[in-house]
Amino acid sequence: MTEQPRSTEQTHPASADIDLKTTREILAVINGEDQKIAQIVAAALDEIAHLVDQIYARFSTGGRLFYVGAGTSGRLGVLDASEAPPTFGLPPGRVIGIIAGGVPALHSPSEISEDDPDAGAADLKSHDLSGKDSVVGIAASGRTPYTLGALRYARSVSALTGCIVCVKNSAMAREVQCPVTVETGAEILAGSTRMKAGTAQKLVLNMISTALMIRMGYVYGNLMIRLTMSNVKLMERGKQIIMQTCGVDSATAAQAIQDSGRDLRVAMLMLRQRLSAQAARQKLAARSLRQILGEGR
C-alpha cells in the first residue's frame, strides 16, 4: 500500500497552474494562503501557553532554553535564539539554537546531517544538558531524525521537551511532554515548508521567547527595559524609555543611563526612587521592577 504523503508534502489545488500566472496573480495566491496562518496558530494557543509555562518554571531558576532543528526549522530556531541577548539583555548561553550540520548549515544545505539521530543527541550532549534545561524541537514534518535524536537524549537526562510541528499525529509530538501542532497543510510549492510552515514556526517562536521574557520581568508595560544599547538607534530608544517612564528630559535620561551602566531598570529606579546605582542594583537582585515600584501583580 502506497504511503499517503504528509499534508505539508501534498499538492495544493490553488497553485496547480501557478507557473502560468502573472507575477501579480502568483503573489495573490501566496498571500491568500499566508493569511490563514495566524488563525492556525491561534488554534494552538493553549498548547503554546502550556509550553511557555513549563519552560518558565525551569528558566526562572537558571535553566537554559534550546531550540533544535534542521534546514529551515533549524535556521528559525537559531534566529530566535540569536535575537534574545540584544533584545532582552540575556547573557550568552541562556537561549541556544542548534542546527543540524552546525554553523555552515545556516547558509548551505546539510541534508545528510538531518538524517542522523545520533548527531542530534551528540550536539545536545556537548552542552552538558541537565534536568534544569528545556529543549524545543522544530520540524515541519514532525519526524526529522536529527531532531528526534536530540529530543530523546533530552528526555534521558530529564530535561523538559517540547516541539513545534506542522502535521497531526507526528512522531515528534508523541515523543515530547509539551507538543505544539500548527497544521499548515499543503504548500503553494509542494513540499516547500520554508513558506507557510516556516511562517507558522516563526510566529510560534516569537510567542515563546517574548512571552517567556515578559514572564521573567524583562519588559515593563510594553517596553524592553533590558535591551542592549549597542548603537545610536538603541541608545535613543533607551533614552525615550527613560523619558517616558520617569517624566524627565533628554539630558537627564541620558545621564541616568550613563550612571546606571546602561541598565534601564537601574536608571528607572535611580530617578523614580532617588537611589544610587548600587542601591538600585541591590533591590533588583531580590525583586522585579514592578514589585519594587509596588505596581501590578
> Which residues carry out catalysis?
83, 114
First to last CA, the chain: 58
Question: How many angstroms separate the CA atoms of 186 and 154, rounded?
Answer: 31
Rounded to the nearest 10°, the torsion over CA 270, 274, 276, 279 is -90
Using DSSP's 3-state secondary structure scheme, residue 97 falls into strand
> 141 is written with which cell numbers?
514534518
